[in-house]
């Protein structure tokens, strides 16, 4: 069957169309993205601005038209951190439903971590052993660990690259004092959860997903996305230690000129790098592997599992 996953994230609204069959790998058929950066459209009270809500409604409506054009049988719509934590999140969901007919399901942070973990487990298989999975989104950082398809620990922290950039790095290029303060904040937040994972034992395989990690890996010398899904891509902590100060001295426009860095994500890349560096150091990770599957694929896989059990 042809499924569409409509992901209203903190950075983008992404419709992923896949041909999905029970017992088979979901095959991507079409991808439609719009960069809204909802995490950066919050007012002083933490509400998504009127402009942001207008743009979201328009974008969801456009995505539905694309889904219809592509022959999608079923759309799986969900929202993550930006809508989940907005002070007017309920009103936003009601308006989207009223004007588009789509009722967005809001995933909790731990659910994001669990579904991403499921996707990573299915991609790498049982031979990868105990997995530690890291994902940096626009609004949050997800961490999950486990031996099975359901992680033994799954945590979400408010350390998304867009959120941190908007709240703590207002200048372009960033003020060095702001960067140091953000570095301290990120490390203190991650350090609070390290013990919960350490008691479970050392992972056999450390994996990262998300655009932030993919861009950082590309800066560290990983293969371009054009070289295909099955090329192994890694990110080392040594590369991050080298790149973080360099990114801190650049403007967003200068970062956008770097290999693999998109203009829309360039401004928040430094914050993402600080989170990635802190997570790798505090979890004692020297290198990790990039997984091409993440939350959207996890949602699809969970849906197929439900159909199999029906």
Measured CA to CA in angstroms, residue 224 lies from 93, 146, 214, 219, 220 at distances of 37, 29, 9, 10, 11
Strand, helix or coil for residue 252: helix
Tens digit of pLDDT for each residue in 258-294? Answer: 999 999 899 999 999 999 999 999 999 999 999 999 9
> Are residue 153 and residue 232 in the same domain, yes or no?
yes
Distance from C-alpha of 83 to C-alpha of 241, rounded to nearest angstrom: 33
CATH number of the domain where residue 53 is located: 3.30.420.40
Q: Which of 165, 136, 114 lies closest to 279, judged by CA?
A: 136
Determine, yes or no, domain membership for 306.
no
**Average pLDDT of the segment spanning 189-211:** 97
> Are residue 69 and residue 132 in the same domain, yes or no?
no
Domain count, the chain: 2
Determine, yes or no, domain membership for 303.
no
> Are residue 133 and residue 173 in the same domain, yes or no?
yes
CATH number of the domain where residue 190 is located: 3.30.420.150
> Are residue 76 and residue 162 in the same domain, yes or no?
no
> Are residue 82 and residue 213 in the same domain, yes or no?
no
> Are residue 44 and residue 75 in the same domain, yes or no?
yes
Tens digit of pLDDT for each residue in 33-91? Answer: 998 888 777 787 889 999 899 999 999 999 999 999 999 999 999 999 889 999 999 99
> Are residue 61 and residue 203 in the same domain, yes or no?
no
Residue 93, domain extent: 2-106
> Are residue 71 and residue 208 in the same domain, yes or no?
no
> Are residue 266 and residue 153 in the same domain, yes or no?
yes
């Amino acid at each position: 069957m042809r499924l569409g996953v409509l992901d209203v994230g903190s950075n983008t609204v992404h419709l992923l169309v896949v041909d999905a069959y029970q017992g088979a790998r979901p095959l991507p058929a079409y991808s439609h993205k719009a960069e809204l950066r909802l995490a950066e459209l919050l007012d002083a009270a933490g509400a998504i601005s009127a402009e942001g809500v207008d743009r979201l409604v328009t974008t969801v409506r456009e995505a539905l038209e694309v889904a219809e054009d592509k022959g999608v049988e079923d759309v799986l719509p969900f929202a993550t951190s930006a809508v989940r934590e907005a002070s007017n999140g309920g009103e936003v969901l009601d308006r989207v439903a009223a004007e588009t007919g789509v009722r967005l399901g809001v995933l909790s942070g731990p659910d994001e971590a669990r579904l991403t973990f499921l996707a990573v487990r299915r991609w790498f298989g049982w031979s990868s052993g105990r997995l530690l999975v890291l994902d940096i989104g626009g609004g949050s950082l997800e961490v999950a660990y486990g031996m099975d398809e359901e992680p033994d620990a799954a945590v979400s922290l408010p350390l998304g690259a867009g959120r941190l950039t908007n709240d703590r790095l207002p200048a372009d290029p960033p003020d060095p004092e702001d960067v140091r303060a953000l570095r301290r904040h990120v490390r203190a937040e991650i350090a609070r959860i390290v013990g919960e994972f350490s008691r479970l034992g050392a992972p056999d395989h450390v994996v990262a997903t998300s655009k932030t990690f993919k861009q950082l890996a590309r800066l560290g010398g990983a293969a371009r996305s054009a070289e295909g899904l099955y090329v192994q891509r890694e990110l080392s902590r040594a590369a991050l230690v080298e790149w973080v100060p360099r990114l801190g001295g650049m403007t967003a426009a200068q970062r956008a000129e770097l290999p693999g860095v998109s203009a829309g994500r360039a401004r928040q890349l430094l914050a993402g790098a600080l989170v990635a560096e802190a997570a790798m150091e505090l979890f004692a990770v020297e290198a990790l592997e990039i997984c091409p599957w993440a939350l959207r694929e996890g949602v699809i896989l969970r849906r197929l599992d439900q159909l199999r059990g029906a």
